[in-house]
Chains A and B, each alone.
Chain A
Amino acid sequence: MKILNRKYLLTVGLLGFSIMVLGLGSSVSLASDFPEAGDFVRGSKAWSENCMRCHSMRSPSDLRDDQWVTTVFHMRVRAGLTGQETRDILTFLQASNAPIDNSAGDVEPVSKEKIAQLSGGKIYQRNCMACHGANGKGVLPGMRDFTDKTGRLTKTDAQLLNNIINGFQSPGSSMPMPPRGGNAQLSNDELAAILSYIRQEFSK
């Protein structure tokens, strides 16, 4: 009986102690803005580096904003992501799930001077690299390669810019290109500058 008691006390003590220690390390007060905003750029990188480790990459357009919340928290536990990675990835996914929208019609061409003023390379690296890669070959399995001589860059500037701005999905692909790469803040001028960078770098 005495032994049993001691064992019981030890177990309860140990569990209680661990919960207390964990509790001390936890953020007790709830953040006022849930889900806390993350960083889009870091999120796109963390997404491309983590979300196809176990299964095929799920398209941002698969789920609604609120559905992504529970799914990304589910994946946080499964994949051992940090809280920061979770918030960043969620921000990226919620921004990139806008449907393809061709209703706006054709986009006005952007002048060469305007393009020259913007550094397309930098904007590409921050916004497009997570999916298209530093070398333009594409990061997701099965994705088309910008450097392919007979590939996507054989289309006209107007076609490509339209597809970048409105979003685009071709019959053979399992994921759409999100409108503006998911970053609604990018202006048409900036996107035209990226396109000019893509042409320069990858269609040599």
Chain B
Amino acid sequence: MLNNIAIAAPSVEELAQRLEKMQIDMDNLKKQLANRATKQDIQLVEKKVQKANEWRDSDTLVHMAGYADVGYTDAQSEDGSFNSANFSPIFHFQYRDLVMLEAELEFSTADSGETNVDLEYLTIDWFVNDYMTLVGGKFLSPVGQFRQNLHPSWINKLPSAPPGFGHDGAAPVSETGLQLRGGFPFAGIRTNYAVYVGNGPELVAEFEDGEYELEGIEAEGFGSDRDGEKVYGGRFGILPFAGLEVGFSASTGKATVTSVEDGDDGLLSNEGARDYDVKGADFNWLLGSFNLRGEYVETKVGSSNAGTAASPGAVWETWYTQGSYRFVGSKWEAVARYTDFDSPHLSQDQTQWALGTNYLFTNNFIGKFSYEFNDGLSGNASDDDRFLFQMAYGF
């Protein structure tokens, strides 16, 4: 035993060597430690990361989206001009998955050079549950697909709205009221719905050849209900398979004449509430690079025997079909649209072929060139062929 220890005992030289090695290791360790982050350093970084994450994962989100467009129009009987500088910012405020506020403003330049500001929509959306959202405020009319889904210029594949789908045409534009929207799977098929109650439209009368007649419908989400009668309506959409959607819309209620075109509204008195009925159907079919969609809307206003502007009823009706093709592996797209708009006034009736070529710089920044062959009452704007160019950017 003793012997063993004596043998194992290192020499002084060896010990000195070991000590030297330990010294070197120690120095290395010190150096490493100096480069290492301390606990405090790590806590500091953690804090910073947490702070940064607050930006990413807050309960309240504020977001801005929207679109803008500029254009040029050259009609047969008019000199070409730059037009429609249009800026539509959308503001979103969201609190978790409970509620969202959506508001879209529209700034546009009028022919006279003034700037117009409109509130396109303003709604508070309450996400009630996975299948229902309650929307209150001024909203785009859920009747059909053009107004609620396609009118923003970066989405619309042509620079113009189809005749009858613009402001005061056959299709309602917006509504002020309450709307319940959502979607649910039904027998393995995707469906969506929107039902609403709102103030409804107002009617415009015209004094011509010694009598009053209905001139137009303003279905633009009035902030008050002058006739006290609500309008009810909605749309139901079915997607039998991915790529195809078919929708049916209707709305019904009462509407009253509240203004006279180029006349004195003060003359109106005791105007009768008229029946107001809208029917519509739309479809959208996507097959590879092809897209075919179409839409029909009919608005019927009943007659009234009461009031200054007592007159028979009238019907507005319009439909369009639009086909587009995105060339494979390129940014070019070709589009064609046919529209037939019938109103109670010959001067407004119009059939139109619109042909266009689009260059998609990106999917939200588009240059559009189009030519419209318009056929209407000769001598009217509705009969003028037009060339249109538009640049649209959705952000």
Residues of A whose CB lies within 8 Å of any CB of B are 22-23, 25-27, 30-31, 34-36, 48-49, 52-59, 62, 65-67, 69-71, 73-74, 76-85, 137-138, 141-145, 172-175
A53 to B154, CA, bound (A): 14
Contact A71 B97 (CB under 8 A): no
Contact B63 A53 (CB under 8 A): no
Residues of B whose CB lies within 8 Å of any CB of A are 55-57, 59, 61, 63, 65, 92, 94, 96-98, 100, 102, 125-135, 145, 148-150, 154-155, 181-185, 190-194, 237, 242-243, 245, 284, 286, 288-291, 326-331, 333, 360, 362-364, 394
Contact B130 A82 (CB under 8 A): yes
Return chain B residues, CB-CB under 8 Å to A137: 288
A138 to B362, CA, bound (A): 18
Return chain A residues, CB-CB under 8 Å to B102: 74, 77
Contact A73 B131 (CB under 8 A): no
Return chain B residues, CB-CB under 8 Å to A84: 130
Residue of A nearest to B287 (CB): A141
Return chain B residues, CB-CB under 8 Å to A141: 286, 288-291, 326
Contact for B61 among A48, A66, A85, A144, CB less than 8 A: A66
Contact for A57 among B126, B132, B328, B363, CB less than 8 A: B363
Return chain B residues, CB-CB under 8 Å to A144: 328-329
Give the shortest distance, in Å, between A110 (CB) and chain B (any CB).
29
Give the shortest distance, in Å, between B150 (CB) and chain A (any CB).
6
Give the shortest distance, in Å, between B168 (CB) and chain A (any CB).
24
Return chain B residues, CB-CB under 8 Å to A52: 286
Contact for A77 among B131, B135, B242, CB less than 8 A: B135
Give the shortest distance, in Å, between B78 (CB) and chain A (any CB).
31
A sample of 17 inter-chain contacts (CB < 8 A) reads A25-B132, A30-B98, A34-B96, A35-B96, A54-B284, A56-B364, A58-B363, A59-B362, A59-B363, A66-B55, A70-B94, A70-B100, A77-B181, A80-B193, A138-B288, A172-B331, A173-B329
Return chain A residues, CB-CB under 8 Å to B97: 31, 34-36, 73, 83
Return chain B residues, CB-CB under 8 Å to A85: 183
Contact A62 B364 (CB under 8 A): yes
Most buried by B among A23, A27, A173: A27
Return chain A residues, CB-CB under 8 Å to B191: 80
Extra contacts besides A70-B94, A73-B100 (14): CB < 8 Å: A22-B132, A22-B134, A49-B243, A53-B149, A55-B363, A56-B360, A69-B61, A73-B97, A74-B92, A77-B135, A82-B185, A83-B129, A141-B289, A174-B360
Contact B155 A55 (CB under 8 A): yes
Contact for B128 among A26, A69, A138, A143, CB less than 8 A: A26
Task: Check A74/B326 contact, CB under 8 A, given A22-B128, A54-B155.
Answer: no
Give the shortest distance, in Å, between B190 (CB) and chain A (any CB).
8
Task: Check A142/B63 contact, CB under 8 A, given A30-B96, A77-B181.
Answer: no
A11 to B98, CA, bound (A): 26
Task: Check A82/B362 contact, CB under 8 A, given A34-B59, A77-B135, A173-B329.
Answer: no
The 4 closest A-B pairs by CB, nearest first: A80-B192, A83-B130, A80-B183, A70-B63
Return chain A residues, CB-CB under 8 Å to B242: 48-49
A153 to B148, CA, bound (A): 41
A34 to B61, CA, bound (A): 12
